[in-house]
Amino acid sequence: MRSDKMKKGLEKAPHRSLMYATGLIKEELDKPIIGVVNSANELIPGHVHLNQVTDAVKAGIRLAGGVPLEFPTIGVCDGIAMNHEGMKMSLPSRELIADSIEITATAHPFDGLVCVTNCDKIVPGMLMAMLRLNIPSLIISGGPMLAGHIKDKTVDLISVFEGVGRVKKGELSEAELKELELKACPGCGSCSGMFTANSMNCLSEAIGLALPGNGTIPAVFAERLRLAKYAGIKVMELIDKNIRPRDIVTLESVKNGIAVDMALGCSTNTVLHLPAVFREAGINIDLEIFDEISRITPNLCKLSPAGPYHIEDLYYAGGIYGVMSELDKKGLINKDCLTVTGKTVGENLVELDAKVLDHEVIKPIDSPHSNEGGIAILRGNLAPDGCVVKQSAVSPEMMKRTGTAKVFDSEEEAVAAILGGKIKKGDIVVIRYEGPKGGPGMREMLTPTSAIAGMGLDKDVALITDGRFSGGTRGAAIGHVSPEAQEGGPIAYVMDGDKILIDIPNRKIELLVDQEEFKKRKESIKIKEPEIKSKLLRRYAKLASSASKGAIFE
């Protein structure tokens, strides 16, 4: 056993003495030791209940003859960190989470690992660590939050963000916004739409690193705790069979994950996180694979913010394996891929009797919302290395548009202009110096996109940035523009009044400025030097790659 490194032999007497000091007994040291990473805290709604989930995992490990040893990691609530300097810390936390798990699980050589997670950067950080360590492991989420209800209408966190713009526009009273605040997020769990946390939890299942049900069983259901117990049992089986994460994550399972991503209409953040995760398995993917799979994979689901449904609806409609069963009808799923069940995707589909139970929530493969997937990769002279848009959440009117640039060098400046009524129909809001290096930290921009939507401009105004967006963003929100402004990308030289062409169907984004004028700008406009007080962010700005590479450390 791997744990023998710290507990077997004469020379390990001091090690055993220290382990006895924790309350362990000899009989426990004779069994497999399983690390259980618990990201519970009292700050994140998706994590406030994870102690209970972790206890269920540990119960499962004990049932199967193992000894669970729990340790923590950090987490950031992106919603609470939004629209202030705290959001600069969100994406960097992904690397810290992966590093902290690697440190703990190397210093204390466990035989297996179970990662208890739920929210935005914690999920990919844990997946990165699992693949980096490559010991028998699986991930279990705390499950999605239920949607809120006001009278006969379902609401969620995005309803509140957009409510701010609606108040400014006069469509909603402050008293109604207060009611929305109290009812949109009714309890624990990852926010209820197909936002980043739920996107990554669903894709963990599709890739094969989580058990069926991981992405969709609601947080408050007893079924979630039962799944956690099975996760504890299952890690012991993975140890017995010596099935490791890199046995599961292959190029074919990567393609399965991206196909499900496109069918679901997941967050654009998946285009940041999946390359970072797969790189830990030695699989380097670029933006092209997302676009290639998007072009052949129909969009089957319109979950919030793209449509009226929430994760609980996806759960009742058949879940992730229901979606995969539909994709399989067109040969879009590789059924030979291994999963943490110890069985292949195809065997799981049969054993689960996977099928779609509600074709309003999961459309039939022959009658999809669109013939292309939820995400599109655009290129052009404004983004030579590419940029990303959640096309499934873009209104038809905005799929092809030429607009007038209104340029801002920070998110705060843009939000003030939007809420101040300075953005008009036909404008394209450009926010720069918010990339991995320029932010630094590549902030999510849910506040400006929600303000645009809340003020009723989402069918008339686009937003382009070298930063990124929340999975809750809807509208013509184009992010990850690469190269970023801080690295001298073309977005650094856009000026107020410039015309910009957006053509999502043809994957184009063009700054309509002649080459001579653009050349003069490059010679006369200086790249801004960021003032970075944080030591952590200075390190991040130095090490982080382009968004087109997943903002990984190089």
C-alpha distance from residue 522 to each of 125, 307, 410, 514, 530 (Å):
37, 42, 20, 13, 19
CB count, 10 Å around CB of 61?
27
Q: Which two tokens stand for residue 158?
A: 């995005």
Specify whether 253 is catalytic: no
Q: Print burial letters for 397-420: b (CB count within 10 Å at least 16), e (below 16).
A: ebbebebebbbbbbbeebbebbbe
Separation of first and last alpha carbons in the chain:
33
Per DSSP, the three-state class of 144 is strand
Q: Which of 253, 470, 482, 546 is catalytic?
A: 470
Identify the CA nearest to 98 among candidates 70, 68, 82, 121. Answer: 121
Rg (the chain; Cα; Å): 23
**What are 187's strand-pairing partners?**
none
Can you tell me which residue has the tokens 């490194």? 5
Per DSSP, the three-state class of 372 is coil
Instruction: Answer yes or no: are the C-beta atoms of 539 and 438 closer than 8 Å.
Output: no
Q: Which two tokens stand for residue 256?
A: 């399965």
Q: Which amino acid is at 426?
A: G
**What are 77's strand-pairing partners?**
none
CB count, 10 Å around CB of 161?
24
Instruction: Answer yes or no: are the C-beta atoms of 12 and 26 closer than 8 Å.
Output: no
Instruction: Answer yes or no: are the C-beta atoms of 198 and 122 closer than 8 Å.
Output: no
Length in residues, the chain: 554
Q: Which two tokens stand for residue 254?
A: 């990567």
Torsion of CA 478, 95, 161, 496, to 10 degrees: -40
- 117's enclosing H/E stretch is strand 112-117
Residues 6+ positions from 17 with CB-CB distance below 8 Å:
none
DSSP character string of 397-453:
GGSEEEEEEEEESSHHHHHHHHHTT---TTEEEEE-S-STTTTTS--B-HHHHHHHH
Active site (catalytic) residues: 470
